[in-house]
Amino acid sequence: MYFLYICTVKLFMCGWDLVVCSCSIYYDFVFVVMMSVKKRFLLVLLPSLLLFACRESVQFPLKAFDGFDDGMRKNGDGLAVEAFFAVPLQSGAQCMVEGIKKIIPVDSLLIVVSERSVLAFDRSGHYICNFGQRGNGEGEYIKVSTAYWDKSTRTLRVIDGIRNRALVYAQNGKLLDTLFFPPATFSLLGTAESLGRHRLFCANYIYNDQNVVMSDFDMSKEEGEPVYRFPGQTDNTQEYTGRHPFALSGNEIACVLPFDNRIYVYSTEDMSLQPRMEVLTRQPVLAEEQLVEIEDYGINRYAEELSRGVFVGFTDIFETSGHYLLGFSNLYYAVADKVAGRVKRYGYGVDKENVDCLPLVNILSTDNDGYLIGYENAFDLKSWRFADSIQDRHLRVMERAVSTMAEEDNPCLFFYKLKR
């Protein structure tokens, strides 16, 4: 089957002839391309963009977000939140949570992942079940490297990076299977999400010159394809490049890379990584030849570059229909409005002595309703002093939730929907 495209476009010279039906390329002309849906050509037409292959990379105009350099706002100050609610997690001997690293919304469940446990709560925070437990026995794990929901099989998979196995659980916590992998398969795994058909998109730690930061891993073949290699290396330490450096949306994955001011998109269909957006900044951005010289990647190197005023990039990205939330460790987050093309940057710290506006805290996930999901530990929340006169109705919701908690309780989850 063939499709006929007729478009007026402006092309850039690649340095060599692009051949489609043996035609050359000129500026500003109307042309006709016949393209088979079963074959891949050098020329691909999208509704408003022409992508083409060149021997050297071609710089297409990226969607730009400005406002990053306008200054750091106080956490939550002026943040436009449409809806907000809080979910204190039930506490008890069998369901205590330590150090949340991931939150997975599945149907009526909230699956809370830490290095020591994987627990399910309902949307009101009531404890439902455990997914295995720590140990060396059947259905147990020594360390939870990550966990993810497999939509195709409707199972939860917990990866133990020490024993290189994936434990497969039903939604009710019952162990269904254990998948074994060769040594060191998951030793550097940070987090992962299912792409379907046995594929995992992985974000990995860097160790010395083992610098595949992101990979597309085939569980059935027990092998992965590198998506991005960091040009530098570490100094005999294992370092992460982001707590949540990618966001899955349909057949595309938005990614952030170390020391980079661009947002990239990985296509799960053709397995390509391309820049899509750019956060404009006056701060210097390190070129690849400078990244190659980095031999001590890690928190100290980040601190050194920050002190020099270098743009250090983002470690986290979350996507909703109207926004990107970009974070850098626990220092700041930036809300990028997709329509307005504007970025507002906020400090992640909270003035515990006078909480007078709704802060975003520890964002770890999004859900299908467009909410950002974060959390805070009960001990920290109980040290907050809310302002005497609270005008923000959402902040009053947070205050009421905190008032019901004790210091030794489980964390409280917070759900934020930003105004479009």
pLDDT at residue 388, as a whole number:
85
Query: What confidence category does residue 273 fall into, taking pLDDT thresholds of 50, 70 and 90?
Result: very high
Q: With 60 as the cut, is the pLDDT of residue 262 above it?
A: yes
pLDDT digits (tens, 9 = 90+) for 68-80: 999 999 999 999 9
Query: What confidence category does residue 40 fall into, taking pLDDT thresholds of 50, 70 and 90?
Result: very low
Query: What confidence category does residue 171 fall into, taking pLDDT thresholds of 50, 70 and 90?
Result: very high
Q: With 70 as the cut, is the pLDDT of residue 118 above it?
A: yes
Bridge partners of 7, per DSSP, are 31
pLDDT digits (tens, 9 = 90+) for 197-206: 789 999 999 9
Q: What is the mean pLDDT of residues 113-137?
A: 95
Q: What is the mean pLDDT of residues 322-346?
A: 94
The more confident residue out of 52 and 130 is 130
Percent of all residues in the chain with a pLDDT value above 90, rounded to a whole number: 77
The more confident residue out of 5 and 280 is 280
Take residue 102 and report the two structure tokens written for it: 């991931």
CA 192, 159, 142, 112 torsion: positive or negative? positive
- Report how far residue 249's alpha carbon sits from residue 233's, in angstroms, rounded to the nearest whole number: 30
Q: With 50 as the cut, is the pLDDT of residue 175 above it?
A: yes
Ramachandran category for residue 71: left, alpha or beta (phi over 0 → left; psi -120 to 50 → alpha): left
C-alpha distances (whole Å) from 70 to each of 177, 232, 234, 346 are 52, 30, 33, 11
63-418 in CATH: which number? Answer: 2.120.10.30
Q: With 60 as the cut, is the pLDDT of residue 265 above it?
A: yes
pLDDT at residue 420, as a whole number:
83
Q: What is the mean pLDDT of residues 29-41?
A: 33
Q: With 50 as the cut, is the pLDDT of residue 324 above it?
A: yes
pLDDT digits (tens, 9 = 90+) for 148-165: 999 999 999 999 999 999
Helices (H), 170-317: 288-292, 299-307
Q: What is the mean pLDDT of residues 319-344?
A: 94
pLDDT at residue 212, as a whole number:
96
Range with the lowest mean pLDDT among 58-62, 100-104, 133-137?
Answer: 58-62
pLDDT at residue 391, as a whole number:
83
Q: What is the mean pLDDT of residues 29-39?
A: 33
- In 3-state terms, what secondary structure has residue 361? coil
pLDDT at residue 49, as a whole number:
33
* Domain edges within the chain: 2-52, 63-418
pLDDT at residue 44, as a whole number:
33
Ramachandran category for residue 236: left, alpha or beta (phi over 0 → left; psi -120 to 50 → alpha): left
pLDDT at residue 51, as a whole number:
31
pLDDT at residue 60, as a whole number:
59
The answer to whether the CB of 152 falls within 8 A of the CB of 196 is: yes
pLDDT at residue 48, as a whole number:
33
Q: With 80 as the cut, is the pLDDT of residue 138 above it?
A: yes
pLDDT at residue 25, as a whole number:
33
pLDDT at residue 66, as a whole number:
96
Q: What is the mean pLDDT of residues 174-182?
A: 96
Please report, as a single letter, which amino acid is at residue 326.
L
pLDDT digits (tens, 9 = 90+) for 360-374: 999 999 999 999 999
pLDDT at residue 26, as a whole number:
29
How many alpha carbons lie under 13 Å from residue 130 in its C-beta half-sphere? 15
On average, the pLDDT of the chain sits at: 86
